[in-house]
Structure 1
Amino acid sequence: MAILPKELELEKEAAHPKSELRFQLPDLSQPLRDFSRTREVREFLSVALAGAMTKAVLAPLETISYALDVNVERAEDVLTHKRLLQFVEDPANQPAFEVRSV
């Protein structure tokens, strides 16, 4: 580290002024607006929204249906159902039925 007189430090700072780099992105608002107004984009968004709503509405109903079909309060029924699902993973075992007397 060297000690310089004040006059030399000022000249050094004046010789190398701080420069700023600025990046300017193109204005994409109008092209995006035009793109979003196309029929294909509207149809895509419509189908995506319909699919999301279907999942949101039907998932709870499927859970209730499963609970009614398989008595979830009985562990034996749940285990039987899981065993059947594993059994039918092989297409040769489809369809599969489990019958029990009530």
Structure 2
Amino acid sequence: MVSRLAPDAEAIVQLYREGASLADLGIRWHCHSNTIKRFLVSQDVVLRRSRPKRGLDEAEIVRMLDEGFDAHEVARMFKVHPETLAEFLVAKCAVIASNPVRRRR
């Protein structure tokens, strides 16, 4: 798989250095983020450290959004980038979707 990425080496390295995540690059090149990581290492690219995740209070976020706060306002209140908040919400939705609540009869 890594050799399949070789023709696009310049583009992959450039996008990564410009801030694209391993996951984003994996989606774009139809492979796993670990494959992208191995490829970048083979290209002697110094990998970025992952940022520690801030503790986001799911219940508080949901409450604020239900009360009509804009997602940008909520992100600012939690001192995170709006994209970080969006990633958190998408991850939570994926967990909810994969574990649907059973209705009582």
Band of TM-score, shorter chain = under 0.3
Identify the structure with bigger relative contact order (alpha carbons < 8 Å, sequence gap 6+): 2
Q: TM-score, normalising length from structure 1? A: 0.21
Q: TM-score, normalising length from structure 2? A: 0.20
- The structure having more radius of gyration, on CA atoms, is 1
